[in-house]
Each structure stands twice: as structure tokens, then as C-alpha cells.
């Protein structure tokens, strides 16, 4: 961890739970972009001295390549109002949070969840990357515009939900009914201890017609077969199957990634769904505008289904309306720095998963 101190020059963009700052570093005077989580540090004002964790910024990382406010030196935030809850997240770190989880004894929903044990066939879309979320929702809304969609955010990427401008924008637009942060992730509309109780709360507390499970922004990959955070999609599908949900596996696809292992169907999806997954799942696909890429993906799908340890069912989703639905997204579509016009494949694949999930819901 690389510490820096500085003074706030100005405040920038803000969204629920977070505010961006321009900070002049002490010693050099260099201006850097920093993020403050308002539930943790409050909202620093221009002229205030702040302490920063600058590690990701100094290493030039992508998603997390900015400084984070650790503390305000001269203006500590007020204590929050007294509240129930004793579930600690980001546990045993200096920034641990004590929160009310939807499934703990103090929760008003505890009685509902105490005996809840099934999803009754609720469609659960599982995706590798956070960037798939708005595309999945676009597909859902194409088939069922009024569907209630809940997002279960796992802890494979960012832990604070407030880091995601995508979630803030989808909530503001009414595309997303609620976010449930599970595991060590925190800051959602509801907290849950596990992916299992996050799914059950989506069903019984939020009343979701479709649930999307994906990690927060940021993705760890090492170029090895098993060393990537997205392998946890298999665990999410196991949870959905255990609880009687309908697992829908969103494929990670690209036609523009410079890395061969991510062209067509990414090796992340091939490994997670082909090797780690032990529960049945649907694999939605849709025609891709590049015929060569489309043929490659279909060859990979055939091999995946033939060699997978679990029973995988390829579902063909019509392409009509998918691009238009994606263009209607209230938030920017971007994955690995590429948008819809540069690399439509990842968004079409995710939208196909959403459209299929919406077609499975039996609610009127």
C-alpha cells in the first residue's frame, strides 16, 4: 500500500455513495483524481487535507487506476445514526464496515428468509464481467419491459457497490429494482451474507422476476487456466441450482480482443462452464454480425457442450431488436475499453442471456 497526502482542489462527478475529487499531492503538487466513498469518509471539501491510498494509481491499473480517500485529516465525518446489524464486511481490514444484512436476526426480513429454501424456477443469469450487467438488462427489457430485475453483486471485483456508476445509472433509470451485495461486497440496497441468501432475498424480498449475478467492477486475470476471478460464475450457478433456480450462463465473447485466449468465447467461459461447473445451465447464443466470428463461436459452443462436465443446453435467441435494445441503455456500454460499435459481440451475447431469462419467467 502506497500512501500519499494531499489537499482537495475541487469536487467532480458524484453519484449515490461516491464523489470524485481533484487532489494536489503534498511534496510534488501533482493533481490526481481520487474517489471518496461518502458512507466511509463523508464528502471532503476543497481545501481539506486527505490521506490517500495511491497504489492502483501509481501502478497504472485500469478499472481501479485512481487514488482512494482513506481519511480526512481535519474533518472526521459524523457517526452514522444508530442502527441494527452486526455483519462485518471487508472484515479485519482498517476500513471494515458493520452493516445490517437482510438475513441476520435483526433484519425485518429474517422471518421470511429463515425458512426460505427455494427459488421456484426463478431465472438466474450469471455473467463473468460487471460490464455485462446493462446488456443483460437490455435483453430482459426487450422481452419483458416491466420485469423486476435484481442484481446480486459478488465480491470478485470491487467490494463497494458505490464504485459502480453503471449500477447508479441503472437504478436511476428504473432498469434495476435493487442491488444485493453478498460476501465481502457492501453498499447495495440490501446486504446478504452469502450468494444463496442474496438469491433468496432477490426472490422473496425484492420480488424479482429475473436475477443477474456478477462480480463488481474490475476483474482479476493472470493468463493461466484457473487464475481469474470469473471462475466464480460456476459457484453462482451451483447456488442457483441448489435453490431450485433456472441457471442461465452468459457467455463472455469478443471479436476485437487482442488476446487470442479471449477471441470468440473467452477461455474464462470455457473453463468455468466446461470444467468448474457441475450443475445444468442454459447457454444462450444469438447471431453475430461478423460471419467468421459467429462460425468460430458456434464451433466453440459445440465443443464446450460435448466436453463439459455439466449438462449444458444451447439456446438460440433471435437477433431481432437486440442491437436497438442495447442502444437504448441508459448507461454507457463498455467492456475492456471497447463499446458496442467497436465490439458488439460481448453485448449481444449478454443481451441474449437476458432475453432468454425473461422468456423463462412465468409471472404475468
| Count of residues making up the chain | 364
Residue with cell 476543497: 46
Helix (H) or strand (E) holding 271: helix 267-271
Residue 363 has pLDDT above 60, yes or no: no
CA distances from 150 to 113, 170, 242 (A): 17, 11, 19
Burial class (CB in 10 A: 0-12, 13-18, 19+), 122: buried
CA nearest to 265, candidates 215, 332, 314: 314
pLDDT digits (tens, 9 = 90+) for 315-352: 999 999 999 999 999 999 999 889 999 999 999 999 99
Can you tell me the distance from the alpha carbon of 2 to that of 58, in angstroms, rounded to the nearest whole number?
8
- pTM equals 0.94
Q: In CATH terms, is domain 3-72 a member of 2.40.50.220?
A: yes
pLDDT digits (tens, 9 = 90+) for 248-270: 999 999 998 888 888 899 999 99
The three grid cell numbers given for residue 273, joined into one nine-digit string: 462452464
Any idea where the domains of the chain sit in the sequence? Answer: 3-72, 110-360
Q: Model confidence at 65, in pLDDT bands (50, 70, 90)?
A: confident
Categorize the per-residue pLDDT at 82 as very low, low, confident or very high, splitting at 50, 70 and 90. Answer: confident
Rounded to 5 degrees, φ, ψ at 225 are -65, -40
CA dihedral 190, 191, 197, 199 (to 10 degrees): 50
> Which three three-digit cell numbers place residue 311?
449438462
Residue 50, pLDDT > 50, answer yes
Identify the pLDDT of residue 60: 77
CATH architecture of the domain with range 110-360: 3-Layer(aba) Sandwich (3.40)
Q: Is the dihedral of CA 29, 33, 38, 40 positive or negative?
A: negative
Q: Binning pLDDT at 50, 70 and 90, where does residue 44 land?
A: very high
User: In what helix (H) or strand (E) does residue 344 lie, and over which residues does it extend?
Assistant: helix 344-360
Mean of pLDDT values over 14-24: 96
Please check whether residue 155 is in contact with residue 339, taking contact to mean a CB–CB distance below 8 angstroms.
no
Q: pLDDT at residue 305 above 90?
A: yes
Separation between Cα atoms, residue 213 and residue 202, nearest integer Å? 11
Amino acid at each position: 500500500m502506497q500512501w500519499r497526502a494531499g489537499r482537495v482542489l475541487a469536487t467532480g462527478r458524484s453519484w449515490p455513495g461516491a464523489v470524485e475529487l481533484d487532489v494536489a499531492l503534498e511534496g510534488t503538487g501533482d493533481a490526481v483524481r481520487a474517489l471518496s466513498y461518502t458512507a466511509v469518509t463523508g464528502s471532503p471539501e476543497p481545501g481539506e487535507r486527505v490521506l490517500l491510498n495511491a497504489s492502483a494509481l501509481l501502478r497504472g491499473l485500469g478499472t481501479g487506476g485512481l487514488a482512494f480517500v482513506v481519511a480526512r485529516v481535519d474533518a472526521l465525518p459524523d457517526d452514522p445514526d444508530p442502527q441494527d446489524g452486526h455483519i462485518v464486511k471487508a472484515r479485519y481490514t482498517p476500513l471494515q464496515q458493520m452493516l445490517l444484512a437482510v438475513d441476520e436476526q435483526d433484519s425485518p426480513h429474517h422471518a421470511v428468509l429463515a425458512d426460505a429454501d427455494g427459488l421456484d424456477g426463478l431465472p438466474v443469469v450469471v455473467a463473468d464481467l460487471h460490464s455485462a450487467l446493462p446488456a443483460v438488462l437490455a435483453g430482459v427489457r426487450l422481452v419483458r419491459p416491466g420485469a423486476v430485475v435484481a442484481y446480486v453483486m459478488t465480491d470478485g471485483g470491487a467490494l463497494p457497490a458505490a464504485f459502480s456508476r453503471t449500477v447508479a445509472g441503472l437504478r436511476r433509470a428504473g432498469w434495476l429494482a435493487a442491488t444485493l451485495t453478498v460476501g465481502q461486497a457492501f453498499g447495495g440496497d440490501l446486504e446478504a451474507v452469502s450468494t444463496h441468501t442474496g438469491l433468496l432475498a432477490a426472490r422473496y424480498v425484492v420480488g424479482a422476476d429475473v436475477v443477474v449475478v456478477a462480480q463488481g467492477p474490475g476483474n482479476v486475470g493472470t493468463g493461466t487456466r484457473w487464475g481469474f476471478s470469473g471462475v466464480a460464475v460456476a459457484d453462482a450457478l451451483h447456488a442457483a441450482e441448489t435453490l431450485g433456480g433456472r441457471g442461465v450462463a452468459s457467455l463472455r465473447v469478443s471479436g476485437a480482443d487482442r488476446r487470442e485466449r479471449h477471441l470468440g468465447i473467452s477461455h474464462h467461459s470455457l473453463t468455468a462452464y466446461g470444467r468448474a461447473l457441475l450443475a445444468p445451465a442454459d447457454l444462450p447464443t444469438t447471431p453475430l454480425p461478423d460471419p467468421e466470428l459467429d462460425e468460430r463461436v458456434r464451433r466453440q459452443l459445440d465443443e464446450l457442450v460435448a466436453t463439459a462436465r455439466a449438462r449444458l443446453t444451447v439456446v438460440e435467441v433471435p437477433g431481432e431488436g437486440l442491437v436497438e435494445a442495447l442502444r437504448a441503455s441508459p448507461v454507457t456500454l463498455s467492456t475492456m475499453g471497447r463499446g458496442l460499435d467497436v465490439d458488439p459481440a460481448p453485448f449481444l451475447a449478454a443481451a441474449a442471456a437476458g432475453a432468454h431469462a425473461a422468456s423463462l419467467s412465468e409471472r404475468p
